[in-house]
Amino acid sequence: MRSIWLGLLILIMTISCENEVEKSIDISKIEVDFKVNRFEEVFYNSTEDDLPKLKNDYAILFPKEVHDSIWIARMENEDELYLFHESQKVFGNFKEEQVELEQLFKYIKYYNPRFKSPNIITHISDIDYQYPVIYADSLLFISLDMYLGTGNIVYEGFPQYLSQKYKKERLVVDVANDIIGQSYPKVNTRIFLNRMIEEGKHIYLLDRFLPDASDDVKMGYSETKLTWAQDNEINVWKYFIENELLYSNDSNLNKRFIDTSPFSKFYQEADQDSPGRIGVWIGWQIVRSYMENNDVDLQQLLITNPEDIFKKSKYKPKK
């Protein structure tokens, strides 16, 4: 399914490269059809007597090997009930998020008319930070307890660079990321510059699918970390050039500048002020520059190799 989706995506996606045009796309006539099932509301307001019906209505969420006693205990678990009540405070009837998801699905369908919006099942995962969102073609599972707000007490044990993403504004970005990640697999490459640009393509798709989302939310940065990235773009680029990192195949560069981490590792005193994934940020700016300076559509971007993108990007880091 992933290869089919990718093929359709590449064949169909065409659009002007100007940011102003991106935001002027008319998606009002695009129709998407999906349902939102609030499983957590049903589950935590149920009793043992309701379990047979729950298992029938939501069979996919009830593995046969799990004994009924486990589900009954979860219905009464104080920690899970707390998470449920907190999610009710934050999301209420979920209408705001439903509108945002509808907009996302419309943009995706604009690029790929064969895209079918998945039905959504919200639930409480007991803080499963590894899988806050799971996209499975026709279904989309969203763990609401992973978006209760950065300062919520339930995230006290988490590092700040992770917990800063656990807010409701990030929910639709995580959904878009999961759909993109499954539909557009990144090309495996060891060259640092190529890896940055492949990651940059991924974030650029967020530009197109979520044109109103802010850069800090797309990157999962705090506003302070975003400001650092913007203010130090030229310094980071100079560091990469002066240390001859662009064409290096040292896999350790991924840990230093690509992978999720509290900060990037220049091995300098001020490292902790920097955001993690600064290489992804730079790759994103290169891709943006390429799209601004070349008369190409999104289809061409996705099939263009990173070296050509870099050469034709006319990338100049902002001072």
Average pLDDT per consecutive 10 residues, the chain (319 residues; last block may be shorter): 44 40 77 97 97 96 95 96 98 97 96 91 96 94 97 95 96 96 85 97 96 96 96 97 97 97 96 98 98 90 94 92
- β-pair type (119-123, 36-38): parallel
> In angstroms, rounded to a whole number, what is the distance separating the alpha carbons of residues 314 and 318?
12
State residue 287's pLDDT score. Answer: 98
- The answer to whether residue 36 is domain-embedded is yes
Find the angle CA(136)-CA(222)-CA(245) to the nearest 5 degrees: 85
Residues 126, 273 within the same domain = no
Residues 221, 178 within the same domain = no
Residues 256, 295 within the same domain = yes
Residues 44, 69 within the same domain = yes
Residues 116, 158 within the same domain = yes
Residues 46, 74 within the same domain = yes
CA-based nearest residue to 107, from 180, 30, 184:
30
267: three-class secondary structure by DSSP:
coil
- The answer to whether residue 175 is domain-embedded is yes
Residues 130, 277 within the same domain = no
From 183, 206, 224, give the residue that closes a domain. 183
Signed CA dihedral, 27, 31, 33, 38: sign only: positive
- The answer to whether residue 3 is domain-embedded is no
Find the angle CA(63)-CA(64)-CA(68) to the nearest 5 degrees: 95
Residues 137, 39 within the same domain = yes
From 151, 183, 215, give the residue that closes a domain. 183
- With b meaning 16 or more CB within 10 Å and e meaning fewer, what string describes 172-206? bbbbbbbbbebbbeeeeeebbbbbbbbbbbbbbbb
State residue 22's pLDDT score. Answer: 53
Find the angle CA(303)-CA(306)-CA(312) to the nearest 5 degrees: 95
Residues 179, 218 within the same domain = no
Residues 38, 126 within the same domain = yes
Residues 139, 164 within the same domain = yes
- The answer to whether residue 129 is domain-embedded is yes
> In angstroms, rounded to a whole number, what is the distance separating the alpha carbons of residues 28 and 6?
25
From 133, 152, 183, give the residue that closes a domain. 183
Range of the domain at 150: 11-17+24-183
